[in-house]
Structure 1
Amino acid sequence: MLVGCFTVNLRPFLRNLMKQLLLIPNVRKYFLAFQSSDFRWLWTGGLGGHSAYWGLIVVRGVLVLQVTNSPSMVGITTFAAMAPRFFTPPLAGYFSDRYTRRTVLLTGYIAQILHSVLLTMLGILGVLGPWSIVALAIFNGAVRSFQMTATQSLIPNVVPKEHLLNAVSLNMISTHGSKFLGPGLMAIPLIFLNANWGFAICGGLYLTGLVGIFRIKARTTGGIKKGTSFGASQKEAIIYILQSNSLRTLFILIMLHCSLTMAYESLLPIFAKMVLNNPTSGVSYLMMGVGIGSVVFALVVAGISSNQVRGRMLFILGIVSGISLIGLAFSNNFASAIFFTAMMGGSQVGFMAIANSMVQTIAPDELRGRVTGLNQINIGGTMAILNLFNGIIAGNIGSDYVLITWGILFTLVMIISLLLNTPRLLYKGIT
């Protein structure tokens, strides 16, 4: 009864608080997309779901490292959660253009809740081994690709076009800022309880996400006609991407950025153990640093209204993404490590928010689900390969050397891109 009364009283309070914030001129520009109630619920649902995902990344990594004492196995486990993004995004894009995007999201959240319940029960029964964790991580990653594709396809349907960059940036806060909330919550069971409690908490987070998605009113889909085959629908999207210089260049930049700078999940448990000498809660603190930086930088990008500024920031944040990896590699204490993980998270989120908003702007609505699905291969597929590779090689040469190598390479990629015409146009805000 008390909980029900609290919930009823809390809703009008939050609505009034948001209205008051939007009346403040200097604050309003950062939260324009929140004027849409559907976007607010989509954002809230995403925050719960993404927090659960990043929480699972931490709990699985720590548990596997404790049980096997194998950095390579941590890399395999993280790879398992990301590997489905090689083959499921095109299917997710097809479903997001063929069926109601809200329905695709609801189905995904229900599947994730059941997955978390199974993890918890297997842990309680004492039959959750490393390879069981890997198998369930594959399922978790496969469903997440449907969630992310449907979410990104739905965003342009619930906000006006002029608020799209703001909406994508705010969505990045729920996606990457949840690296603070999810891993932060996992620190409690990892220090004081056990991994089973972490799995249960993640199930609760997925449940909050389901409630948010259920409240969305928009019922939108793409432009796949009944009877169109999966292959034909994908061919249409691929041809469109290849014929657009801007889209083609953005896909290449996103692929290189994600593979070289964002495949760090398998490195952080190893870095926390070998460099910072804190293999349990240390990785949670590092991920929280990533989350804090993500929130700050995403808010900065959310306030950008000029296409020219947006283009310049794409280049600057790309450079910072590379340099911050090098800074983390040279960190030998928590203060400097958290600072550079915050710079990593912030610059990566800012870069991806701008790049993804450009992709969403260029892609027509009837193709958006499929274009987004193919872009998810760029994002998740390449990260999966590099996470596997990084986890294996870091056990041999050290996580710091891996960070330095990829940081230098991507910094060079951004500098060399200035020699090409289409990237230069993108950096001027011309799509």
Structure 2
Amino acid sequence: METSLLKHQAFMRFWIGQIASSFAFQMLAVGIGWQMYDLTNSALNLGLVGLAQFLPQLALTLVAGHMVDQYNRRIIVLICRLVMAITVSVLVLGNLTHSISATMIYACAAALGATRAFEMPATQALLPNLITPDLLSRAVALMASAREATVIAGPALGGLIYLIGPTALYGSSVVCFLISAIFLLNLQYEYKAPAKAPVSMESLLGGMVFIRRNPMILGSISLDMFAVLLGGATALLPIVAKDILHTGPWGLGLLRCAPALGAVMMSVYLARRPLRRNVGKIMFAAVAMFGLATIAFGLSTHLLLSLLALWVLGASDMISVVIRSTLVQLETPDEMRGRVSAANSIFIGTSNQLGEFESGVTAAWLGVVPAIVVGGLGTLAVVALWMKLFPLLTHRQTLKAGEITRIPGQPAAQQPPVQP
């Protein structure tokens, strides 16, 4: 009982720290975007800020995964949060001395991206160490609910603080990063130092190789990647709001909040009532619902119907996220979690970036409504195909560690092997 309580306390400290860090990022995105546009009056420069963050993160991800599996994950996250606080302090100083420039913002964005390359896999790999396996799905749902809540409230809070000035906003972000670091200082959990291994291509690519050999993980990660890639309707929200729904910025704000609100409500529900059976089929059903909601959103010409479709889209996506994230952690041995989490972040980052690009290109070719509808239909096709390609995932029953999944109707000799 005492050990369980200590794990619970550790998770709560970790959870609060994550909320503070996520608030810092959400506010920071508002400040950097607004100030960059204010300095340059260029939409291209806004896009380059995102690129400046993404490229270092992509380049360092595999190295970061190796480091996360070699060293204390709590220390890695703590150092990352402190580096982020120092990086944003440069923006505070630049505004105080009136020396802020586009170049300074690009440099800080690149530094934040490089730091995130280490922070994200370390955070994901640390979570299973703080909680017992039977509580993991609830922990994943609570982490997701906190993240989505900050997606809703963070930009709004950042916009209000920015009315005081960019210095106040960046300073608030620094404070949030420091708060998150403080909660990590005395985080107590059972830590076993891993055996050190030299850096090699085999080690760096270990996460990718492990994913490829494990059909449960490969199926769940690739399903999410292709679903997001094809169903990225949210990238077209400004066009939909203005040209189809004929609403203003307030309507666009509601449309952007709707998926996150659905995700928050579903994650809270899943934290209270975790899924206990048929999780594989439920995940596929959730992704199919994501595709149907995308189609409904594309065909809608009324704001309320569009908001409802986006709410369903966010809620169904959260079901898939919780199941997928829990399965990945359960099916991955602790000594591999850093590299697998790093590889997973490449899949997620690539699908998000390319999904927005795909939606824009398809909309330019076919028009906005056909592009959204085709994306939803593509998601449904992926679900049908993946259920055939990954039968072990389709017939997964629970979110319990060590479950041996078998395909009904097949003799034992023909059952697909579970790769280590």
Q: What is the CA distance between 1:170 and its match in structure 2?
A: 1.2
Q: What is the CA distance between 1:253 and its match in structure 2?
A: 1.4
Question: Which residue of 2 is the match for residue 242 of structure 1?
Answer: 212
Conservation of the 8 A alpha-carbon contact between 2:65 and 2:340: yes
C-alpha distance in 2 between matches for 1:73 and 1:267: 19
Question: Which residue of 1 is the match for residue 171 of structure 2?
Answer: 200
Q: Deviations over 1:182-238 (max 9, x none)?
A: 123123145x44544433332232222222222311263674x32422423234433
C-alpha distance in 2 between matches for 1:267 and 1:196: 32
C-alpha distance in 2 between matches for 1:267 and 1:76: 19
Q: Aligned pair in 2 of structure 1 residues 259, 87: CA closer, same or farther (>3 Å)? A: farther
Q: Percent identity?
A: 22
C-alpha distance in 2 between matches for 1:349 and 1:33: 27
C-alpha distance in 2 between matches for 1:130 and 1:395: 30
C-alpha distance in 2 between matches for 1:118 and 1:269: 32
C-alpha distance in 1 between matches for 2:99 and 2:374: 39
1:200-219 equivalences under 5 Å are 200-218=171-189
Question: Which residue of 2 is the match for residue 179 of structure 1?
Answer: 151
Residue of structure 2 aligned with 1:82, choices 51, 54, 60: 54
Conservation of the 8 A alpha-carbon contact between 1:113 and 1:203: yes
Q: Between 122-131 and 389-398, report the one with greater CA deviation.
A: 389-398
Verify: 1:259 aligned to 2:217, yes or no: no
TM-score by length of 2: 0.80
Letter in 2 for 1:248: L
C-alpha distance in 1 between matches for 2:160 and 2:366: 31
Letter in 2 for 1:291: A
C-alpha distance in 2 between matches for 1:288 and 1:397: 27
1:351-430 equivalences under 5 Å are 351-387=320-356, 403-422=372-391, 425-426=394-395, 428-429=397-398, 430=405
Q: What is the CA distance between 1:309 and its match in structure 2?
A: 3.6
C-alpha distance in 1 between matches for 2:181 and 2:101: 29
C-alpha distance in 1 between matches for 2:229 and 2:193: 29
Letter in 2 for 1:299: V
Letter in 2 for 1:218: Y
Q: What is the CA distance between 1:423 and its match in structure 2?
A: 6.1
Q: How many residues align?
A: 396
Conservation of the 8 A alpha-carbon contact between 1:187 and 1:284: no
Conservation of the 8 A alpha-carbon contact between 2:36 and 2:46: yes
Structure 1 residue runs without a partner (length 5+): 1-31
Structure 2 residue runs without a partner (length 5+): 399-404, 406-417
Aligned-partner SS, 1:238: helix
Question: Which residue of 2 is the match for residue 133 of structure 1?
Answer: 105
Letter in 1 for 2:54: M
Q: Aligned pair in 2 of structure 1 residues 358, 288: CA closer, same or farther (>3 Å)? A: same
Q: What is the CA distance between 1:36 and its match in structure 2?
A: 0.6
Conservation of the 8 A alpha-carbon contact between 1:184 and 1:285: no
Letter in 1 for 2:153: L
C-alpha distance in 1 between matches for 2:112 and 2:391: 37
C-alpha distance in 2 between matches for 1:39 and 1:203: 23
Q: What is the CA distance between 1:410 and its match in structure 2?
A: 1.8
Question: Which residue of 2 is the match for residue 166 of structure 1?
Answer: 138
TM-score by length of 1: 0.78
Q: Deviations over 1:61-87 (max 9, x none)?
A: 455556666555444433443344423
Letter in 2 for 1:41: R
Conservation of the 8 A alpha-carbon contact between 1:75 and 1:389: no
C-alpha distance in 2 between matches for 1:350 and 1:407: 17
Q: Aligned pair in 2 of structure 1 residues 408, 73: CA closer, same or farther (>3 Å)? A: farther
Q: What is the CA distance between 1:160 and its match in structure 2?
A: 0.8
Verify: 1:101 aligned to 2:70, yes or no: no
C-alpha distance in 1 between matches for 2:255 and 2:103: 26
Q: Deviations over 1:117-172 (max 9, x none)?
A: 22233345555455543443232233223222111111111111111111111111
